[in-house]
C-alpha cells in the first residue's frame, strides 16, 4: 500500500520545466528522504503532493485519493519557509493550529503541552513566540505540524539551522512518528542524516528523478570504485598518480575515485608515504550526490 | 465552515485586543465631530483685536453716518454668558411647572426669571471697530492712497476707505464709488459691515432725495414667509398629521452622516484584510496556514474576521446613536429601517472590499507594491462619496438611480437614498440588493483565485493584467 503515488507528473513555470515526468511511490509507514540540490524541484514536488499547486500533466494519489489536499486533516506539512505569529503565546499558537487541523480546543491544548514536555520546552509554553530561540521556534513549528497525529507527515528541511542537541531531539521525534505508523517524507541537504534515518531515498536533479530506492540499493548500484585513504603525506602525495579520476579531500581523509588495480595503487603509495588507512568502499550518499549534482565541464565553461 | 470561523474569530480577537482598535474607536467620533469641536474652540477663542480704519471722505456726510452706526455696533458686541437662575429645572432651560413646586399658577407655564445674577457676566464676542478721518495734506506729494497704504503696512491701521464724492447721488455719476483697501483680504467682518452700513445709508438717502419714505420701502420689501414643509397624511382615525416644517437635520444631516459613517466603518475594517494577509505572507506564515486550510477557507476566514471587527465598531456607534436619540426623545428622526439597511449595506460593502483587499495582500510581497495595486480599489470605494451632494439634491434623478444600482457604489448611494424621505421605490431596493449580492459573490470568487495563486508567489508584484490572468486561470 502506497501513501503517495505520482505517475508522469510534470510541472512548468513558464518556459522552465520544474518537474519532468516524475514517477514515485512512497510506501505507507516508511521514512522517505527527498534529496537534491537547491532549485532542483523538491519543494515543487512536495507542493504538488499537497495539491497546493497543480501539475500540468500526470496523476497524484495521496492516502488513496486523488484529491487529498494539504488542508486534509490526515496530513501534516512543515514548509521550508516558515514563520509564526510573533505576538502569540506558544500555547495559543499550538491550540490555533490544532483547531485548524480539526481538533477540539481542549485536545489541541492537551496534546500541545504533551509535545512541549517531550521536546523539553515545557517552561516556554506561556511565552510569546518572539521570545523563543531559533532552535526552539523550529521545534514548536514541528509540534504544530504533528499535533493532530497525521497519517502522512511532510517536512521540508526540518533540520536546517539546528544544533546537534536539538537535531537529535527532532530525529528521535520523527522516528517516533514512524513507530506510531505515520509515513514521513522529509527533504534535506544533510546526507548523513538521510543515510541514517531514511528507509528510502529519492533524488531529483533538474526536475528529473535520478535516484530512487533504499539507501543500500542506491549505494550498491555504484561500483566499489572508491578508495578511502588516510596518508601521512596528505593530499599532495596523490598528485600525478595514474588511474586517479578524482580526489575528494575531506581534510584528514581523502576519498579517491580510482580506475585500475587498487593493490598497485597501495604499493605505489607505500613507497612514498606511510598509509594509515586504506579502504575499498562503495561511494557514500554524499559522494553520489556530488557526482550527480556537480556542474559539468560545459556548465562551468558557460559561467 | 468551522475552520473559517476559527480563523475569523482568531483574527477578530487579535484585532480587538490591539491598541489600534481602541484608537480607531475613539478616532472616528473625533473625525466626525471635529468640525463641531473646532467650532466650539473657535467660539471660545475669538480674535478680539481692535480693527482700526481711516476714511478719506469726499462725500457729504458719510463719515458722520458711519461714526453713528459704529457706536451702535460697538455696543452690541457683548453677550451675556453664564447660568441663569431658573426655578426647578435644568440650568439654562425654561421649564414647564407641574404645579407642585409653587402654589400659584398651577397648570400654566411657570414664571421664568431671567434676572442677571452673580453667575452671569458680559463677554465680548466680536472685535471692536474704530475709525478716524483722514485729511490729505496739500503739501503732501504722495497720493492719499499711498500715504494710507504705508500706514496700514506699518501696522498703525488695519484698513482704509476712500468714499467717492457722488456716492449719495441717486443717478449714476462719476466718483460714486467706495474703495476699501486692506492688507488682509481674507478678513471679511469689517468690509462686510462697512458695505452693508454704507448700502443702507445710501439707499435711505436716495429714497429721501426722491421724496420716498424709507420706512415705507422697508415695509414693502418685507420678506415673504416661506416655509418648507412635509406632506400631510391621514391616520386610520381620520386625523390629518404631518405638514411640519422641514427639519434640515433630518433631511440632510442624517442621510449624509449615515453614509459617512458607513464609509468610515469600511475604511477602518477592509484595509485590515490587506494588512493581515500581507503580513502573514511577509512573515512566511501563509504557507504554514495553507498546510492546514485551503486558500479559499483562509481568505473567507479573514473576511469573517473583518466583518466581525466592523460589526463591533458598528454596534458601538449605532448603539451610541440609539442611546442618544432615546435620551433626547428624537427616536423618530432615525427610524428602525435605517439601522437595518445600514447593517445590510455594511455587510455587502465589507464583503466586496475586504475580499478585493485580501486578494491584493496575497498577490504582493511588499507593502509598497500593495499600496499602488490597491489604488484602483480605493478609488472605487471613494467615488460614491463625490456624488453625495448630487444625490441628496435629487435622490430620484436618473444619475442617482443609476449610481445606486451600480454594485460597487450601491452600499453608499442606496444607503443615502434610503435615508432621504420617502426613500426609493421597493423594486429599486430589491434590484440593488440582488445585483450587489451577485457582484459580491463574483468578487469573492475572483479574489479567491488571485488569493490562491498570489499567496505562493514571490518577488515582483503582479501587474493588473497578470492579476486578471490569475482570475481566469485553471
CATH of the domain spanning A223-281, picked from 1.10.3720.10, 3.40.50.460, 2.115.10.20, 3.30.70.100 = 3.30.70.100
Of A69, A85, A141, the CB nearest to B294: A69
All three cell numbers of B359: 486578494
Please determine, for the modelled complex, whether the ipTM score is greater than 0.90: no
Rounded-to-integer distance, Cα A25 and Cα A31, Å: 12
- B456-462 CB contacts, 8 Å cutoff, 24+ apart: B456/A47, B456/A52, B456/A53, B456/B286, B456/B287, B457/B363, B457/B365, B458/B365, B459/B365, B460/B369, B461/B363, B461/B364, B461/B365, B461/B366, B461/B369, B461/B370, B461/B372, B461/B373, B462/B363, B462/B364, B462/B373
What is the structure's pLDDT at B99? 41
Of B285, B290, B474, the CB nearest to A85: B285
Which residues of chain A lie closer than 8 angstroms to B287, CB-CB?
Answer: 52, 79, 81-82
- Does A75 contact B10 at a Cβ distance shorter than 8 Å? no
- Does A53 contact B456 at a Cβ distance shorter than 8 Å? yes
pLDDT one-digit tens code per residue, A144-185: 999 999 999 999 888 887 888 888 888 999 999 989 999 999
Q: Does A101 touch chain B (CB under 8 A)?
A: yes
Rounded-to-integer distance, Cα B148 and Cα B156, Å: 10
Domain with CATH 3.30.70.100 in chain A: 223-281
- Does A71 contact B7 at a Cβ distance shorter than 8 Å? no
pTM value is 0.71
- Does A100 contact B7 at a Cβ distance shorter than 8 Å? yes
Rounded-to-integer distance, Cα A157 and Cα A170, Å: 12
The CATH fold of domain A2-219: Rossmann fold (3.40.50)
pLDDT one-digit tens code per residue, A175-217: 999 899 999 999 988 888 888 889 999 989 888 888 888 888 8
Residues of B with CB under 8 A from a CB of A: 3, 6-7, 10, 14, 280, 283-285, 287-294, 297, 456, 474
Residue B69's contacts (CB-CB under 8 Å, 6 or more residues apart) are: B197, B201
**Residue A203 · residue A212 · CB < 8 Å:** yes
3-state secondary structure chain B: CHHHHHHHHHHHHHHHCCHHHHHHHHHHHHHHCHHHHHHHHHHHCCCCCCEEEEEEECCCCHHHHHHHHHHHHHHCCEEEECCCCCCCCCCCCCCCCCCCCCCCCCCCCCCCCCCCCCCCEEEECCCCEEEEECCCCCCCCCCHHHHHHHHHHCCCCCEEEEECCCCCCCCCCCCCCEEEEECCCCCCHHHHHHHHHHHHHHHHHHHHHCCCCHHHHHHHCCCCCCCCECCEEECCCCCEEECCECCHHHHHHHHHHHHHHHHHHHHHHHHHHHHHHHHHHHCCCHHHHCCCCCHHHHHHHHHHHHHHHHHHHHHHHHHHHHHHHHHCCCHHHCCHHHHHHHHHHHHHHHHHHHHHHHHHHHHCCCHHHHHHHHHHHHHHHHHHHHCHHHHHHCCCCHHHHHHHCCCCCHHHHHHHHHHCCCCCCHHHHHHHHHHHHHHHHHHHHHHHHHHHHHHHCCCCCCCHHHHHHHHCCC
Q: Does A197 touch chain B (CB under 8 A)?
A: no
| Residue B283: φ, ψ to 5° | -90, 10
DSSP-derived 3-state class of residue A76: strand
**Residue A121 · residue A140 · CB < 8 Å:** yes
- Does A100 contact B456 at a Cβ distance shorter than 8 Å? no
Interface residue of A100, A137, A140, A147 to substitute, partner B, most B CBs within 10 Å: A100
| pLDDT values of chain B reduced to their tens digit, one per residue, 474 residues | 688 999 999 989 888 888 878 887 887 777 767 767 777 777 667 788 899 999 999 988 899 999 999 999 999 888 876 655 544 444 444 444 444 444 444 444 444 445 545 556 778 888 999 999 999 888 889 999 999 999 999 999 999 999 999 888 888 888 888 999 999 889 989 999 999 999 999 999 989 888 999 889 888 888 888 888 878 888 888 888 777 777 766 778 888 888 998 998 898 888 888 988 888 888 888 888 887 888 888 899 999 999 999 999 899 889 988 898 888 888 878 888 889 999 999 999 999 999 889 888 888 888 888 888 888 888 888 889 999 888 988 888 999 999 999 999 999 999 999 988 788 999 999 999 999 999 999 998 888 888 888 887 777 778 888 888 888 876
Rounded-to-integer distance, Cα B227 and Cα B332, Å: 21
Domain with CATH 3.40.50.300 in chain A: 2-219
Residue of A nearest to B294 (CA): A71
All three cell numbers of B150: 504705508
Interface residue of B15, B277, B288, B453 to substitute, partner A, most A CBs within 10 Å: B288
Residue A62: is the preceding peptide bond cis (ω within 30°)?
Answer: no
Q: Does A67 touch chain B (CB under 8 A)?
A: no
Amino acid at each position: 500500500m502506497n501513501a503517495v503515488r505520482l505517475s508522469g507528473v510534470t510541472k512548468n513555470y513558464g518556459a522552465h520545466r520544474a518537474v519532468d515526468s516524475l514517477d514515485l511511490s512512497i510506501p505507507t509507514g516508511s521514512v522517505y528522504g527527498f534529496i537534491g540540490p537547491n532549485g532542483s524541484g523538491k519543494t515543487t514536488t512536495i507542493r504538488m503532493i499537497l495539491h497546493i499547486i497543480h501539475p500540468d500533466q500526470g496523476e497524484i494519489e495521496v492516502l488513496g485519493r486523488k484529491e487529498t489536499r494539504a488542508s486534509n486533516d490526515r496530513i501534516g506539512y512543515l514548509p521550508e519557509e516558515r514563520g509564526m505569529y510573533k505576538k502569540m503565546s506558544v500555547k495559543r499558537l499550538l491550540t490555533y493550529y490544532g483547531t485548524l487541523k480539526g481538533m477540539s480546543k481542549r485536545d489541541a491544548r492537551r496534546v500541545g503541552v504533551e509535545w512541549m514536555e517531550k521536546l523539553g520546552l515545557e517552561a516556554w509554553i506561556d511565552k510569546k513566540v518572539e521570545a523563543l530561540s531559533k532552535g526552539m521556534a523550529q521545534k514548536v513549528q514541528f509540534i504544530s505540524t504533528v499535533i493532530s497525529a497525521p497519517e502522512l507527515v511532510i517536512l521540508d528541511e526540518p533540520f536546517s539551522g539546528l544544533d546537534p542537541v536539538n537535531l537529535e531531539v527532532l530525529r528521535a521525534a520523527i522516528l517516533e512518528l514512524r513507530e506510531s505508523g505515520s509515513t514521513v517524507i522529509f527533504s534535506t541537504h544533510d546526507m548523513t542524516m538521510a543515510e541514517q534515518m531514511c528507509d528510502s531515498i529519492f533524488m531529483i536533479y533538474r526536475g528529473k528523478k535520478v535516484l530512487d530506492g533504499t539507501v543500500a540499493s542506491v549505494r550498491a548500484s555504484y561500483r566499489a570504485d572508491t578508495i578511502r585513504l588516510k596518508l601521512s603525506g596528505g593530499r599532495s602525495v596523490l598528485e600525478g598518480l595514474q588511474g586517479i579520476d578524482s580526489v575528494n579531500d575531506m581534510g584528514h581523509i581523502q576519498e579517491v575515485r580510482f580506475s585500475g588495480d587498487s593493490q598497485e595503487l597501495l604499493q605505489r603509495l607505500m613507497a612514498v608515504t606511510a598509509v594509515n588507512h586504506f579502504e575499498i568502499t562503495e561511494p557514500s550518499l554524499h559522494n553520489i550526490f556530488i557526482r550527480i549534482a556537480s556542474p559539468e565541464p560545459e556548465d562551468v565553461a558557460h559561467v | 465552515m468551522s475552520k473559517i470561523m476559527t480563523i475569523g474569530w482568531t483574527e477578530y480577537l487579535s484585532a480587538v485586543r490591539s491598541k489600534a482598535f481602541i484608537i480607531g474607536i475613539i478616532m472616528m467620533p473625533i473625525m466626525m465631530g471635529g468640525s463641531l469641536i473646532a467650532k466650539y474652540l473657535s467660539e471660545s477663542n475669538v480674535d478680539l483685536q481692535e480693527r482700526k480704519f481711516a476714511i478719506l471722505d469726499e462725500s457729504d456726510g458719510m463719515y458722520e453716518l458711519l461714526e453713528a452706526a459704529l457706536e451702535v455696533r460697538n455696543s452690541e458686541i457683548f453677550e451675556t454668558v453664564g447660568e441663569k437662575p431658573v426655578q426647578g429645572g435644568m440650568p439654562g432651560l425654561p421649564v414647564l411647572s407641574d404645579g407642585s413646586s409653587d402654589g400659584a399658577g398651577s397648570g400654566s407655564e411657570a414664571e421664568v426669571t431671567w434676572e442677571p445674577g452673580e453667575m452671569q457676566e458680559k463677554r465680548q464676542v466680536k472685535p471692536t471697530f474704530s475709525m478716524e478721518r483722514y485729511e490729505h495734506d496739500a503739501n503732501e506729494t504722495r497720493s492719499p492712497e499711498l500715504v494710507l497704504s504705508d500706514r496700514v503696512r506699518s501696522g498703525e491701521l488695519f484698513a482704509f476707505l476712500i468714499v467717492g464724492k457722488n456716492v449719495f447721488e441717486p443717478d449714476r455719476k462719476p466718483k460714486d464709488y467706495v474703495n476699501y483697501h486692506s492688507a488682509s483680504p481674507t478678513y471679511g467682518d469689517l468690509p462686510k459691515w462697512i458695505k452693508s452700513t454704507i448700502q443702507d445709508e445710501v439707499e435711505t438717502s436716495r429714497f429721501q432725495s426722491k421724496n420716498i419714505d424709507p420706512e415705507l420701502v422697508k415695509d414693502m420689501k418685507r420678506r415673504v414667509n416661506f416655509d418648507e414643509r412635509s406632506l400631510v397624511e391621514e391616520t386610520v382615525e381620520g386625523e390629518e398629521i404631518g405638514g411640519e416644517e422641514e427639519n434640515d437635520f433630518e433631511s440632510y444631516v442624517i442621510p449624509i452622516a449615515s453614509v459617512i459613517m458607513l464609509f468610515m466603518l469600511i475604511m477602518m475594517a477592509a484595509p485590515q484584510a490587506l494588512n493581515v494577509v500581507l503580513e502573514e505572507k511577509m512573515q512566511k506564515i501563509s504557507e504554514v496556514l495553507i498546510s492546514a486550510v485551503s486558500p479559499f477557507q483562509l481568505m473567507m476566514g479573514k473576511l469573517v474576521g473583518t466583518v466581525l471587527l466592523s460589526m463591533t465598531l458598528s454596534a458601538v456607534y449605532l448603539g451610541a446613536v440609539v442611546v442618544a436619540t432615546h435620551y433626547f426623545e428624537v427616536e423618530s428622526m432615525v427610524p428602525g429601517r435605517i439601522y437595518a439597511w445600514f447593517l445590510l449595506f455594511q455587510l455587502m460593502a465589507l464583503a466586496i472590499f475586504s475580499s478585493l483587499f485580501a486578494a491584493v495582500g496575497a498577490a504582493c510581497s511588499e507593502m509598497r507594491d500593495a499600496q499602488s495595486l490597491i489604488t484602483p480599489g480605493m478609488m472605487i470605494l471613494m467615488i460614491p462619496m463625490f456624488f453625495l451632494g448630487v444625490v441628496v439634491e435629487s435622490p430620484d434623478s436618473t444619475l442617482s438611480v443609476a449610481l445606486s444600482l451600480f454594485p460597487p457604489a450601491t452600499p453608499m448611494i442606496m444607503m443615502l437614498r434610503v435615508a432621504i424621505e420617502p426613500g426609493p421605490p421597493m423594486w429599486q431596493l430589491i434590484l440593488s440588493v440582488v445585483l450587489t449580492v451577485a457582484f459580491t459573490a463574483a468578487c469573492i470568487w475572483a479574489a479567491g483565485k488571485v488569493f490562491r495563486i498570489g499567496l505562493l508567489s514571490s518577488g515582483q508584484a503582479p501587474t493588473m493584467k497578470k492579476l486578471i490572468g490569475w482570475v481566469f486561470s485553471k
